Amino acid sequence: MASAALVPFLHGDRDVISVLLDRRAEGSEPGERSDDHRVALVIGGGGMRGAYVAGMLRALDRAGLVPAFDEVYGASSGAFSAAAFLTGDAAACAASYPEDLCTDVFINMRRLGSRRPVVALDHLIHEVLDDRKPMAWHELGKTPASLRIVATDAGDLSPHTLEGMETVADWRLALRASASIPLLCGPPVSYGGRRWVDGSVGEPLAMARALRGGATHVLVVLCRGTDDLHPDADAGLSLWARALDRVVPGLGTVAQGSRRYGADLRLVTDAAHPDRGPGHLAAIGPSRSVGMGSLCVDPALVGEAVRVGDESVVAAIESVAAQRRDLDPA
């Protein structure tokens, strides 16, 4: 039998995955549940590190667990992955990382300091998601589970969930708003009377937001394993990151993801955390690091990250399923 010791990358309360497995066995969907739970999936950003998460979402989809979620929160690259997950395009999203995004058309550091952003969101939205790996844009807003896109108000750097998306154009703009960072991914995006930047600036992982919104169970998929986290979660931003934030608000904050993810993970692992309440939280991280950064365009490393993410979710699910079989062999 698989054991908790064999999956150290599965953090928190295993009951979250157990509820998902129960719902899959029952074949229930949002709005037609036999339980009183509200289960949220939280997907953070991380640039090309999102390849880990894309592999995880592909595994969740393949396991038949998409209908088991009631809502999905996504920020930055995680918002795009969340959209693909809910529209049935998780496998295509995972494939797009090594096949379509590992190119200097998408990421090119030589554009730094020019009028063009280092990361070309236009390439992702129009070239990849329209033509190479078409996403069912028309399904957004109609999926059984709701999609919550997190973005950061450029004025005060406070995080919010974007509202009012009715057309494909609205959804494109909202996703762009959740991933935009001056110099890196483009200027702030105007939407709904405000200007927005990357959701990871204000809220890397929307776990507490999901709990405040009524979720009883939250599963978080992480683009950083324990090897990629800063050893001191209380260290705060480095001097260079704070200086960068003063020049380009939010850029230094995003660049210090290894510190912020470590702090966020405490909400999952500490049952007495003041922001937790009675909710159940679990997180699945990559089982190992492949040694890639958020701007990596090496297709071999990125493809390996997808595989690691996929394998991590498979191992986590099987560990919980084995534990359930052991407790109830009948």
**Do 265 and 229 touch, CB atoms closer than 8 A?**
yes
- Can you tell me which residue has the tokens 């690259």? 77
198 assigned to active site: yes
166 burial type by CB count under 10 A (0-12 exposed, 13-18 middle, 19+ buried): exposed
Strand duo 10-12 + 280-284: pairing: antiparallel
How far apart are the C-alpha atoms of 209 and 322, rounded to whole Å?
Answer: 31
Whose structure tokens read 């996703």?
Answer: 175
Active-site entry in 76, 77, 200, 294: 76
SS3 37: coil
Active site residue 76: yes
**Gap between the Cα atoms of 145 and 252, Å rounded:** 33
- Catalytic pick among 198, 228, 245, 310: 198
d(CA 251, CA 231): 21
Active-site positions read: 76, 198
